[in-house]
Structure 1
Amino acid sequence: MTPIEALASRALNAVSRVPGEFAGGGAYALFHMPLARSRMRGAERELFGGADIERLEVNGKSAVTYRWGNGERPVLLVHGWQSRGSRFADFAPGLLERGYSVITFDAPGHGDSTGRSTTILEYRDILTELHNRYGEFEAVVAHSLGVLGSFFALQHGVKARRVVAISGVCDFDYLVEEFCSALELRPLVKARLHDRITKNLFPGAPADRTPFSAVNTVTDIKAPLLVVHDEDDTRIDVKQGRRLAGAFGGQARLITTSRLGHRRILGDPVVVRAVLDFVENGPDRSGEVSTESVAAR
């Protein structure tokens, strides 16, 4: 636990002893607030310096969008928590060579966008607006929290011919459990946080489908799915990837890697090539494939 997390833990647990919703509101706000903002790496600057950069207003915040190509045959790249669109820099050149337009963004509170926080609703709204601009995506390629946000948007009308989930979150409740565990929050704080999430993010959703889970989108999403997850991912357990792939059955292909972890997987040549091949050629429904990249050794 970092010093900031320790301070937040003490404060939220202390406030929970006071009647009212202070603890639930504080936990909810912190839950959606990245404590670090990623900066663009030197190796990413040349590529992103040549992008068509625009800003998209979402919930009073300004999200930066990046595009290469003329917008035809669009592929959308969706980053995760405390990340940014530039982390997909290794995917863009190959997609452009194959004739796709590449689109990505920095969510509010991330990268060069404004704001200090973001929610799954804002991910949905950004994907929806980009879908309205460019039409059906040839593919949506998402990482980490971006996977959950993408499935939420796909359930709400965004269309994609293929979907790729890398190191993805399958269940919103997984994030809640990890958050509460990391801060060692008392059960009462956790219960109040759940109440806020239900009320603010998923009003009207059936009790058995709150919080949101990607497994509940099986009947809504017909696109082939590629799931890539590392066995040694300490941020998002590989069980989340297996759960996602298992829910979609023959519609999904699962690739497992090792020794790449949560973030390095995005720069691994074997993973990048597998994703590009899937986007271009479609699924290989041969079942589960285990890979170990030379870059991971």
Structure 2
Amino acid sequence: MSKNKEIQDQTLKIPKVILITAKLFVAISPKLATKFTAKLFTTPIKHKIPKREFHMDKESVQEIVFVPSINKEIVVYHYGKSEKKILLVHGWSGRGTQLVKIADELLNLGYSTISFDAPAHGKSKGNSSIMIEFIASILELEKQFGPFEFAIGHSLGGMSILNAIREKLKIRKVVIIGSGDIIQDIIDDFIKKLELNPEIGIKLREHFEKKYGVEMNYYSASNAAKEVLIPVLIIHDENDVDVNVKVAYNIKENLNISELMITKNLGHRKILGNTEVIKRIVEFIKE
């Protein structure tokens, strides 16, 4: 299998039955189509834990934590016993053990990690979630188990950490890997994958803004980045088909103190286990 084919295969495929249903709703009623796409957009896919994560799952102390601000429970993983703690945040359709290779190296450095299954992800209950709930979970974990020295986030997890810092999460440095950025771009990409008219994407954003009472652009990573004063290491693959590499440059432009690492042929997920990536994270933490 070629590198490009391998990277393409990492992206999430939408089943044909969903594509047909979405188009049917559009034909019947734009309002129904908006509700249907909103449900799809906020429903993560739960994947089985792969073998490479088994030991972290087994060796972690796990507990259920209630997050009052969203009235939901999350499963939290305590990995390692050091008082020096690092927060790990997975991306959409991820889980608390997904950054296992990074976590293992952090334990070797003398840290412990705290991670979690966001609402409706991994072992956490529920069927739907949204970034607002990721942010709320991060802030609750800081309250209960902090302070954290550093935070590392993948994809939506990276966006969530930047937003949490704006909402007073206290850490010394942050690493974001394959982070998304502009909310409308994320919605538009989702609508494109559903093979629907771009107008549905605008209606979807308006639906969320009405529901949550805030402009969705407020949560864009580059917007939150303007208020992040600590050093940030941005890692992104130039062949990431889920999140275009241009996003990394845009986030960097809006940060106060930042470094950028661009990788090749790792895509959106394999980047998490890459030796050079983990080595750079370790160097950044040690600096």
Using the size of structure 2 for normalisation, the TM-score is 0.88
Equivalent residue number for residue 38 of structure 2: 28
- The superposition leaves residues 22-50 of structure 1 with CA deviations (integer Å, 9 ceiling, x where unpaired) of 3322222211112x212111121122211
Query: Would the aligned equivalents of 1:109 and 1:115 in 2 still touch at CA under 8 Å?
Result: yes
Deviations 1:54-78 (A, max 9, x none): 1123444431110123462211111
Aligned residue identity for 1:32:
T
Residue of 47, 72, 89 corresponding to 1:78: 89
User: Is the Cα contact below 8 Å between 1:136 and 1:161 reproduced in 2?
Assistant: no
1:141 to 136, 152, 164: 152
Letter in 1 for 2:161: S
Q: Within the alignment, does 1:11 sit opposite 2:24 as a pair?
A: yes
Count of matched residue positions in the alignment of Structure 1 and Structure 2? 272
* 8 Å Cα contact 1:65/1:103 also seen in 2: yes
Cα 1:136/1:144, change in 2 over 3 Å? same
Secondary structure at the residue paired with 2:219? coil
**Residue aligning to 1:44:** 53
Give 2:270's aligned residue.
Answer: 264
From 172, 186, 192, the counterpart of 1:181: 192
> Which of these residues, 265, 280, 285, is aligned with residue 274 of structure 1?
280
Q: Over aligned residue pairs, what C-alpha RMSD do you find?
A: 1.9
Shift of 1:185: 2.2
Q: CA deviation at 1:110?
A: 1.5
Contact 2:26-2:32 at 8 Å conserved across structures: no
Cα distance in 1, alignment partners of residues 71 and 147 from structure 2: 26
Any runs of at least 4 consecutive aligned residues in structure 1 with deviations exceeding 6 A, and if so which? none
Q: What does 1:70-219 correspond to in 2, within 5 Å?
A: 70=81, 72-201=83-212, 203-205=213-215, 210-219=217-226
Distance 2:171 2:222 in 1: 17
Conserved? CA contact 1:197–1:211, under 8 Å = no
TM norm structure 1: 0.85
- Counterpart CA distance in 2 for 1:71 and 1:28 is 41
Q: Using the alignment, how far apart are the partners of 1:116 and 1:71 within structure 2?
A: 34
The reply to whether residue 228 of structure 1 matches residue 273 of structure 2 is no
Q: Distance in 1 between matches of 2:66 and 2:16?
A: 33
**Which of 243, 252, 258 lines up with 1:252 in the alignment?**
258
Partner AA of 2:95 in structure 1:
R
Q: Structure 1 CA distance, aligned partners of 2:193 and 2:105?
A: 38
The C-alpha deviation readout for 1:179-222, integer Å capped at 9, x for no partner, is 11111223442232111121223x255xxx73521222244211
Kindly provide the CA deviation profile for residues 98-124 of structure 1, in whole angstroms up to 9, marking residues without a partner as x.
221201111122211111111111101
Aligned sequence identity (%): 31
Q: Shift in Å at residue 267 of structure 1?
A: 0.5
Is the 1:124–1:150 contact (alpha carbons within 8 Å) kept by the matching residues of 2? Answer: yes
